[in-house]
Amino acid sequence: MTQHVFDEAIALTPIGDNQWAGQTHPAYANMVGPFGGVTTAQVVNAMMQHPQRLGDPIALTVNFCAAVADGAFTITAIPVRTNRSTQHWTLAMTQGDETVFTGTAVTAVRRDTWSLDEEPMPQCPPPAEVPVPDRVAPMEFVKRYEQRVIAGPLPQVWDGSGDSSLSRLWVRDKPPRPLDFVSLAAISDIFYPRVFVRRSTHVPAGTVTLTTYFHVNAAEIAQVGDDFLLGQARAQAFRNGFFDQTAQLWSPAGVMLVSTHQLVYYKQ
């Protein structure tokens, strides 16, 4: 059976206590370096493989310190504190002597309790009723995802006419792949910088820091299979070279899987 290209991209080799070696993959190339979502997924994969891991991810904060260069990298994932139900991690990616990525994470053993999604899934047409875009961005990683945009597409004309940063879309791996924590971490960063959508103006922009909260356990993620997720993203404030954007991903059944908040750098 042929290995999925995503699994090729996140493949790691243990090289010592708390350390793994990996390689960037051309299939997930962005304009500069790899797609940040796949870099995050590679680091999450290291944590998921750690023999001392307790529970599933519930929170992840990653910081993109520098553009990841094409080629080899080393990931360090250290469980710095283990409690009865939670475990705290420090994460890093290095290339040579340079640190290009840092992060922290919390994994936990969830308990059955009262649960509720306060933010409901937006009412949207099903994926089969949303056409595949006839044009997509030229970055290679975009080809690795099937995206059916409902609202707020990437502008086709950069004329400054944008009036909202809100986007909604159905998304999944291409070709389809059963969802897990690692691929969910990648898809959580699928949304274009909101400044593109809000301004319809192409400016340099890149994520500085991204926090993802996971609201489901492994069994609940497995129920999604390789189906589409509904994603929504919007900005809250653009100011003096930085803006934030929030996003959510829901299962087709309406269960919120993740919510995210990131800070993005942009030039005028």
At 142, which CATH number? Answer: 2.40.160.210
Number of folded domains that form the chain: 1
Q: Does pTM top 0.85 for this prediction?
A: yes
* pLDDT tens-place values along the chain, 268 residues long: 789 999 999 999 999 999 999 999 999 999 899 999 999 999 999 999 999 999 999 999 999 999 999 999 999 999 999 999 999 999 999 999 999 999 999 999 999 999 999 999 999 999 999 998 887 778 999 999 999 999 999 888 889 889 999 999 999 999 999 999 999 999 999 999 999 999 999 899 999 999 999 999 999 999 999 999 999 999 999 999 999 999 999 999 999 999 999 999 999 8
Comparing CA positions, the residue from 15, 35, 16, 17 lying closest to residue 25 is 35
Q: What DSSP designation does 29 have?
A: B
115: in domain: no
- Cis previous bond, 122, omega within 30: no
Q: What is the rounded CA–CA span in Å between residue 62 and residue 60?
A: 7
161: in domain: yes
250: in domain: yes
Dihedral sign of CA atoms 20, 25, 30, 33 in order = positive
Q: What angle do CA 187, 190, 194 make, to 5 degrees?
A: 145
Q: What is the rounded CA–CA span in Å between residue 120 and residue 38?
A: 28
114: in domain: no
183: in domain: yes
172: in domain: yes
Sheet strand arrangement including 205-214: 13-16, 19-23, 72-82, 86-95, 98-108, 56-64, 205-214, 256-266, 242-250, 229-239, 167-173, 145-151
Domain boundaries, position 140: 5-109+120-266
